[in-house]
Amino acid sequence: MESVRSDQSSKNSSLVLEDTQAMLREYCQGLVPLPARLETWMLSLCSSPVLPEMVHEYGSPLNVLSLQPFQKNLNLLRETAQAFGLDFEVYFARKANKCLTFVEAASQQGCGIDTASTNEIRQSLDLGVPAEKIICTAAVKSEELLHLCINAGITIAIDNTDELLLTERLAREAKRTTKIALRISGFAYEGKKLNSRFGFDIAEVPSVVQRFWSQETETVSTLSITGLHFHLDGYSRHQRIAAIRQLLPYIDDLRSQQHPVVFLDMGGGFPMSYLDSKAAWERFWREHRQALLGNRNPLTWENHGLGLIADEGRLLGKPKCYPYYQSPVQQDWLQDLLQADCEDTTIAKALCRRKLQLRCEPGRSVLDGCGLTAARVEFRKQRSDGSWFIGLSMNRTQCRTNSDDFLVDPLLIPVDKEKTVSETAPAMEGYLVGAYCNESEFLSLRRLQFPQGVSIGDLVVFPNTAGYFMHFLESRSHQFPLARNVFFDPETEQVDLDPIDQEI
Ligand SMILES: *Cc1c(COP(=O)(O)O)cnc(C)c1O
């Protein structure tokens, strides 16, 4: 009886969640909808009075974060690699979200941290992350940054010969043997070279090593090459497989010359999905193309192309947007990569038989499901064509990456749920605009539909913003304060401000 009852209650609660989800989505959707993948905690928070209270207390916009999905994502990656018997380490790329709570949690789970600046390193050390669990992959490394790494004993991913020379001099002066990884790029892929601004070209490796680590130089005793590192643009599994295959012979060579190479670091770029529906994603782009060709009404502000340009009845260019739907993702993607052919076996076995540790530096994908951004509606303004501008207390740097747009439907949370449903406010269609004083200040370029209208004081929620959207481009232009960051525990409803908001 007990199990029947609990089955029943879990069935009921999943029905309740489905209802909540359908209801939440009803208030706002794109002209061609792109329904967000929503975590249970997001659904319960969005239907609770706690969210408006939080925005009232901490200001708009507010970034709300949750730790549980992060811990789960990290675990799933590690379990997947462990199933292959692989020596595997995750270094969380913390530039994807600035909150210190994630750094602390990753470290407590035994993961490392990939850092990109002096402050990111200092904060990580202050939180008690052991130096051997930190890698520095900063794109530009000042003397101050290198000093910090050398003195603390942090592995440095070296990008170029100037950096190598400076690191060698500083390490020699400090009399500290320093671990480095050479960052490599220029892999051959489908008959072409994968060009990058980062790293040494793979073909240069032997000559660089020869030049710096030959008998006459002091580099031999100051810098030890403990790994090779790459981080590729984009999310292609096949490109990463090609890079690993091409690096293994170089690692064998380095080891045969007594270089203590213990790891291969494949960087980040693990794919994730913001949408559940492949069909919705494909339909959006099909309709958007038709709109750009003039065959239907626009889905975007002034028919913005999102990377595509219509030219005499043809479409040029390619989408300048994250692939918000993709498959496989995360641990399934990693599993496919580890099973791919390599030498006479698989990548996993080729690494295992060398006793080579595989490291990775995921940022975005391990933050999947970990955050949302909520902002308050301040005005509605009808335009001469009947559409509306909805003004939010938020600016466009507060939900933005290198993508042209955030291609996920926001949620609208009415201030007064009872009233909106029973009094059926007039339906509205229009665009979300932000607080910067210029004509291009759209929080989303997409034309959105609000079947029950929008009221002042309603909240607009951008779902799943923890990876990059919240912090990567946020600015203090106009002297607006930065958005606050709070962690929400769905069990206890406890709300804690992240300590990063106390840093200057
Ligand atoms: C940005 C970055 C990452 C993280 O990439 P994601 O796409 O967020 O997984 C990892 N390593 C390096 C060197 C990076 O620059």
**pLDDT value of residue 157:** 98
Distance CA 129, CA 146 (A): 18
The one-letter amino acid at 242: A
Phi and psi torsions of 90, nearest 5°: -100, 125
Kindly state the average pLDDT of the residues 282-290: 98
Kindly state the average pLDDT of the residues 470-478: 97
Same domain, 60 and 76: no
108: domain CATH number is 3.20.20.10
**pLDDT value of residue 269:** 98
Give the model confidence (pLDDT) of 90-99 as tens digits: 999 999 999 9
List the single range of 133-147, 260-274, 317-331, 422-436 with lowest mean pLDDT. Answer: 422-436
SS3 label, residue 431: strand
**pLDDT value of residue 215:** 66
**pLDDT value of residue 442:** 96
**pLDDT value of residue 288:** 98
Same domain, 160 and 36: no
Distance CA 486, CA 57 (A): 11
**What percent of the chain stands above pLDDT 70?**
95
Sign of CA dihedral 63, 68, 72, 75: positive
Same domain, 7 and 52: yes
Name the residue range of residue 72's domain: 68-271+326-366
Q: Is the CB of 367 under 6 A from ligand 1?
A: no
Ligand 1 centre to CA of 275 (Å) is 22
Kindly state the average pLDDT of the residues 413-437: 81
Same domain, 93 and 151: yes
Kindly state the average pLDDT of the residues 14-35: 89
Q: Is the CB of 361 under 6 A from ligand 1?
A: yes
List the single range of 154-163, 354-363, 422-431 with lowest mean pLDDT. Answer: 422-431
**pLDDT value of residue 446:** 98
Ligand 1 atom index nearest CA of 363 = 8
List the single range of 123-132, 207-216, 318-327, 339-348 with lowest mean pLDDT. Answer: 207-216
User: 134 is written with which tokens?
Assistant: 């930190």
Ligand 1 centre to CA of 233 (Å) is 9
**pLDDT value of residue 425:** 72
Q: Under 8 Å CB-to-CB from 193, ≥6 apart: which residues?
A: 186, 187
Spatial contact of 60 and 373, defined as CB atoms under 8 Å apart = no
Spatial contact of 383 and 389, defined as CB atoms under 8 Å apart = yes
Using the 3D structure, point to which of 317, 345, 379 is the last residue of a domain. Answer: 317
Element (H, E) at 226: strand 223-229
**pLDDT value of residue 1:** 36
More confident residue, 21 or 326: 326
Q: How many CB atoms lie within 10 A of CB 342?
A: 17
Q: Is the CB of 364 under 6 A from ligand 1?
A: yes
**pLDDT value of residue 3:** 41
**pLDDT value of residue 15:** 76
Same domain, 258 and 207: yes
Q: Which of 34, 81, 26, 42 is nearest to 466 (CA)?
A: 42
- Beta pairing class for 112-115 and 88-93: parallel
Q: Is the CB of 135 under 6 A from ligand 1?
A: no
Q: Which of 52, 50, 56, 47 is nearest to 24 (CA)?
A: 47
Q: Which of 219, 229, 226, 125 is nearest to 166 (CA)?
A: 219
Kindly state the average pLDDT of the residues 341-360: 98
Same domain, 18 and 83: no
Whose structure tokens read 């959707």? 29
Q: Is the CB of 269 under 6 A from ligand 1?
A: yes
Same domain, 384 and 441: yes
Q: Is the CB of 268 under 6 A from ligand 1?
A: yes
Q: Is the CB of 112 under 6 A from ligand 1?
A: no
What's the total number of domains in the chain? 3
Using only the alpha carbons of the chain, give its radius of gyration: 25
Kindly state the average pLDDT of the residues 424-449: 94
> Has residue 418 got a pLDDT over 80?
no
Same domain, 42 and 151: no
Task: Place 367 in a pLDDT band, splitting at 50, 70 and 90.
Answer: very high
> Has residue 54 got a pLDDT over 60?
yes
Same domain, 124 and 241: yes
Kindly state the average pLDDT of the residues 375-397: 97
Q: What is the residue-averaged pLDDT of the chain?
A: 94
Kindly state the average pLDDT of the residues 69-97: 98
Q: How far is CA 352 from the centre of its chain?
A: 29
**pLDDT value of residue 423:** 57
Same domain, 410 and 472: yes
> Has residue 417 got a pLDDT over 70?
no
Distance CA 248, CA 453 (A): 59
Spatial contact of 363 and 468, defined as CB atoms under 8 Å apart = yes
Give the model confidence (pLDDT) of 181-238 as tens digits: 999 999 999 999 999 999 999 999 999 999 999 866 666 779 999 999 999 999 999 9
Distance CA 84, CA 339 (A): 9
> Has residue 78 got a pLDDT over 70?
yes
Ligand 1 centre to CA of 115 (Å) is 10
Q: Under 8 Å CB-to-CB from 502, ≥6 apart: which residues?
A: none
Give the model confidence (pLDDT) of 252-264 as tens digits: 999 999 999 999 9
DSSP assignment of 113-125 equals EEE-SHHHHHHHH
Give the model confidence (pLDDT) of 291-304 as tens digits: 999 999 999 999 99
Same domain, 426 and 469: yes
Name the residue at shortest CA distance from atom 8 of ligand 1. 363
Name the residue at shortest CA distance from atom 11 of ligand 1. 267
Distance CA 97, CA 59 (A): 19
> Has residue 162 got a pLDDT over 60?
yes
> Has residue 7 got a pLDDT over 60?
no
Kindly state the average pLDDT of the residues 273-301: 98
380: domain CATH number is 2.40.37.10
> Has residue 38 got a pLDDT over 60?
yes
SS3 label, residue 135: strand
**pLDDT value of residue 20:** 83
User: 398 is written with which tokens?
Assistant: 């507060």
Q: Is the CB of 377 under 6 A from ligand 1?
A: no
Distance CA 142, CA 77 (A): 33
DSSP assignment, residue 275?
A: B
DSSP assignment of 324-340 equals SS-SS-HHHHHHHHHHS
**pLDDT value of residue 17:** 79
Phi and psi torsions of 210, nearest 5°: -60, -45
Distance CA 35, CA 30 (A): 9
Ligand 1 centre to CA of 436 (Å) is 29
Task: Place 504 in a pLDDT band, splitting at 50, 70 and 90.
Answer: low
Ligand 1 pocket mutation pick from 95, 333, 473 by most atoms within 8 angstroms of CB: 95
Same domain, 308 and 262: no
175-176-179 Cα angle (round to 5): 150
> Has residue 351 got a pLDDT over 60?
yes
Task: Place 385 in a pLDDT band, splitting at 50, 70 and 90.
Answer: very high
